[in-house]
Chains A and B, each alone.
Chain A
Amino acid sequence: MNPSASTPLVASLLDAPPPASGIAWLDEARRENRAAFAAGGLPGARVEAWKYTALRGLAQRRFAAGDAAAATRDVDAAAFALPGVDGPRLVFVNGVFRADLSTAAALPDGLSLQPLSQALRDDAEPLRFALSRAALVGHVREGGDAFVQVNAASATDGVVLRVAAHARIAAPVQLVFVGAAADAELAWHARNLVELGEGASLELVEHHVGSGEQAQLVTLVGDFVLHEGAQLHHVVLQNAATTTNLIRRSGLRLHARAQMQLHVLELGGALVRHDLQAELVGDGAQLHTRGAFMPHGRQHVDTQLAIRHQALDTTSTSTWRGVASDRARGVFRGAIVVAPGADGSDANLNNKNLLLSPGAEIDTKPELEIYADEVQAAHGATVGQLDERSLFYLRSRGIPLAEARALLTAAFCRAVLDDLPSGALREHLSALLIAQLPA
């Protein structure tokens, strides 16, 4: 048995019995994942994928399972209002769906949007394939994906979103995950399934907000499947409470000529980890990821990107920016794999980072694994400071040093928002980003 299996965190996560759904196959899957987690425990520092994110501190904490009062907690709806995002909305408070805060009554044609709890009650069978395993897309690494197992064992709610073939959904859909103040330190989980039919298109905003002094542990597992020619614009605004430990895993599968654009802004949280595994399985699929992480205080933000090119003429571009200040730590891994036979693949990844304080740290690891020869693959990574000459230029034009720094840092990060299609949202996100920058 793994020595980490006996930590207070693991014990507390195994304290409560797994939730019973009354659906035999689902309860079976939950039991299996629970047993796997109990046997494997948390990944130690020797597990390569967790090399730079030590779970020692987290492992010593205990979290209570779920929030019994989630349905009645007071939540300020203004906290998740976003300009330009006025379509259907599903809101989850401490992992529980809140119909009173959501607006999903009149859905456009071709869009099916339901909380997972509801979908399971209505007709569980279509979800069987996806929920019988810990994660639908990408492989679950042995020992490394303990939180995926926890999620599969414990998540009772989340989002089931389907877009019918050739449906073009104009209004952006918003998914809100609220971590609300509670009396105890809570653990809660959500499981999302998103599927776009052939030629469908959708704009989707995933929004994390939170408040409260109490620490939380949140796991979120999402699967995104884009069928032939589908298009998805996905924006993730992570503004969780500074006491929240947020562990997310996204699996993306892109079929032929599918296109996905992802914009991620990591602002909040205490320990934040995002594993993104993408598979470009259809010829001509395209994935474009952009993201910025700005850890400050004692935040720890870890982004793990793994993109697999498995078909002909697939394209991926990734642009990620990190700014670490105070005693914070930013971690980035960007792995690109071009599988044998994936000729015509074009992969490009860059990660630039600013390190602003003596107590801060950046660890970055771009990787290339290439098994085909008709390939263009490149990556770049830098860690450094603002360009002295640019600072000098601004100062020579009468801009004070502090302001010049703020201006350049903002410009450095904003690059990741440049190709965000919605103007109003872009402006809002960039204002949030600037507000977050160290003074």
Chain B
Amino acid sequence: MNEIMNNQSSTAAVLRDNAQVAEVLGRSYSAGFVTQIEMTGLPPGLDEGTIRALSAVKREPEWMTEWRLEAYRHWLTMPKPDWAKLNIDPIDYQAISYYAAPKKQPKSLDEVDPALLETYEKLGVPLHERAALAGVAVDAVFDSVSVGTTFRKQLADAGVLFCSMSEAIREYPEIVQKYLGSVVPTGDNFFAALNSAVFSDGSFVFIPRGVRCPMELSTYFRINAQNTGQFERTLIVAEEGAHVSYLEGCTAPKRDENQLHAAVVELVALEGAQIKYSTVQNWYPGDENGVGGIYNFVTKRGDCRGDDSKICWTQVETGSAITWKYPSVVLRGDRSVGEFYSVALTHHFQQADTGTKMIHLGKDTKSKIVSKGISAGKSSNSYRGLVKMEKGAERARNYTQCDSLLIGKQCGAHTFPYMEVKNPTAIVEHEATTSKISDEQMFYCRSRGIGEEDAVSMIVDGFCKQVFRELPMEFAVEAKKLLEVSLEGAVG
């Protein structure tokens, strides 16, 4: 009898321990919950029929369907890229469902399913107009569709068009047709071609001539359904002299299988326009044994089409099992400016191969690249970049700095910069360093009574400061928190 009692109390202790473990785990990826909501969608599989069905569900015009089919036919002929320093398990493209959406399609934000609102509330994304205080207009994308866009009226008053891609295709077909695929052509690369064929939704932003967008625009991507891939397509056009700052956030539930996210983002900046695109990527990274997580294969490219235009990419990459992403800028206009600021953190079995391309075509163009890579656990983190000075890039200038920080003995940090210079008046500079957190730095912090984890997070924070400075304030705070959480358990 006594024995049984003992057993019971020890079971209770185990349960209590488990609860604590669960709590810690929960903290390490707080966005890992699943929303129970009635879904509708297409069955898994991919062929021309799937694409026609998808196009039909979205009530797209004929030209859009043809555009998709052309991309699909091209995709079939393309080999999967294998040059990145990544180990990718084969992806079964027939096992993915290419369209999943909440059953109830709301007409306005007031009709959005409360379960969905609650999801975004939990994620800290203010979807309701009452969140006016936050001062950020949000387009929320849930699996394959946009569930709502806030502040549309205020933005429309300023002349800014901000809506989901599906709506844009129906309501502003001439703008979409003019710019879609003009920066990232349908056959650009394997994943861009796939995206062009099956993209479901995304955000559309159009800032007309001379308009300064009155608030930050933001899209929040959420993958919820199982066995789906998210293929969003974002297009941002800033006309002459227009300014816009755009934020992107993303999360997904914890699942054991890998899910594919293959997005395409196109930015067009006409004369004197400025686009600032910030990303905090926090897709589910898989667990500490490398099980599950999102495959994040993204093509992002900006085109500084007009003179004196500027495009700035800032990214904080902490999530995803595998990241394959090279936000680029084509500096076509004279005196145009391209910037890329990146913090990429990998832990456990995460793999990241990320960087940028700066293609200088115009005179007096300038680009700056600051990349900070942090590897912990058994992860692998590569910077891969290209700076190209074409013949016409008179007096063009580039500065690149890539630093890597290693935390642990089993991780890898790599740097693969390519520099191609064809103009004798251009200047290209590249610097890279790799080191670990030095014992001196740690000792200094510890001797002042700072705990080991806090010390690491402080040093990492300092290491990344140059990039965080470029983020809008709310994002910078979020990014810092994310780094802390992602590094949990990395030392000791």
Contact = CB atoms under 8 A, between A and B. Distances in A.
B48 interface: no
B420 A363 contact: yes
Interface string A200-216: 00000000000000000
B360 to A, nearest CB: 12
A128 interface: no
B391 to A, nearest CB: 7
B422 A361 contact: yes
A382 B431 CA distance: 9
A382 B422 contact: no
B435 A384 contact: no
B427 A382 contact: yes
Interface in B84-112: none
A375 interface: yes
B419 A383 contact: yes
Nearest to B436: A373
Contacts of A379: 415, 430-432
Q: How many A residues touch the partner, as a band?
A: 20 to 34
Given A376-B435, A382-B430, A385-B424, A365 B414 contact: no
Interface stretch (A32-40, A350-358, A418-426): A350-358
A262 interface: no
A377 B425 contact: no
B406 A363 contact: no
A21 B171 CA distance: 79
A245 to B, nearest CB: 23
B442 interface: no
B407 A373 contact: yes
B70 to A, nearest CB: 25
A362 B430 CA distance: 14
Interface string A379-416: 11111110000000000000000000000000000000
Given A370-B413, A370-B414, A377 B435 contact: yes
Contacts of A363: 418-421
B426 A355 contact: yes
Interface in B182-230: none
Given A366-B432, A381-B430, A372 B416 contact: no
Given A366-B430, A373-B406, A383-B426, A358 B391 contact: yes
Contacts of B425: 385
B424 A356 contact: yes
A316 B422 CA distance: 30
Contacts of B422: 360-361
B434 A378 contact: yes
Contacts of A378: 431-434
A369 B414 contact: yes
Nearest to A371: B412
Contacts of A357: 424
Contact of A373 (B408, B418, B433): B408
Contact of B419 (A360, A365, A369, A370): A365
B154 interface: no
Given A361-B421, A365-B417, A378-B434, A372 B409 contact: yes
A429 to B, nearest CB: 26
B20 interface: no
Interface string B378-421: 00000000000101000000000000101111111111111111
B155 to A, nearest CB: 44
B118 interface: no
A382 B429 contact: yes
Nearest to B386: A365
A383 B429 CA distance: 7
A378 B433 CA distance: 4
Most chain B CB within a 10 A radius of its CB, from A360, A367, A370: A370
Nearest to B400: A381
Contacts of A427: none
B424 A355 contact: yes
Contacts of B406: 370, 373, 375
Most chain A CB within a 10 A radius of its CB, from B408, B430, B433, B436: B430
A366 B429 CA distance: 12
* Chain B contact residues, majority secondary structure: strand
A383 B426 CA distance: 8
Nearest to A379: B432
B380 to A, nearest CB: 9
A380 B83 contact: no
Contact of B423 (A355, A368, A377, A380): A355
A369 B412 contact: yes
Contacts of B427: 382-385
B432 A380 contact: yes
B428 interface: yes
Contacts of A355: 421, 423-424, 426
B106 to A, nearest CB: 49
B435 to A, nearest CB: 6
Contacts of B408: 373
Nearest to B406: A373
A111 B476 CA distance: 66
Contacts of A83: none
A379 B419 CA distance: 13
A239 interface: no
Nearest to B398: A383
Given A370-B404, A370-B434, A375-B436, A383 B409 contact: no
A364 interface: yes
A380 B418 CA distance: 12
A367 B423 contact: no
A373 B376 CA distance: 10
Contact of B431 (A372, A376, A380): A380
Nearest to A330: B421
A48 B425 CA distance: 28
A340 interface: yes
A125 B424 CA distance: 54
A374 interface: yes
A356 B423 CA distance: 9
Contacts of B411: 371, 373
Contacts of A377: 433-435
A383 B410 CA distance: 34
Nearest to B434: A377
A368 B373 CA distance: 13
Nearest to B427: A384
Given A379-B415, A381-B419, A368 B434 contact: yes
Contact of A358 (B416, B424, B432): B424
A340 B419 CA distance: 28
Given A370-B404, A374-B436, A380-B430, A362 B412 contact: no
A361 B389 CA distance: 10
Interface in B430-478: 430-436
Interface of A: 48, 52, 340, 353, 355-358, 360-385
28 contacts: A360-B424, A361-B422, A362-B420, A363-B418, A364-B419, A365-B418, A366-B415, A366-B417, A367-B414, A367-B416, A368-B414, A368-B432, A369-B414, A373-B406, A373-B411, A373-B436, A375-B435, A380-B429, A380-B431, A381-B428, A381-B429, A382-B427, A382-B428, A382-B429, A383-B389, A383-B426, A385-B425, A385-B427
Given A378-B431, A379-B415, 19 more contacts: A360-B422, A366-B417, A367-B414, A367-B416, A368-B434, A369-B412, A370-B404, A370-B412, A371-B412, A376-B434, A377-B435, A378-B432, A380-B430, A380-B431, A381-B417, A381-B429, A382-B428, A385-B424, A385-B427
Which 3 pairs of residues, A with B, have the shortest CB-CB distance?
A384-B427, A373-B406, A383-B421
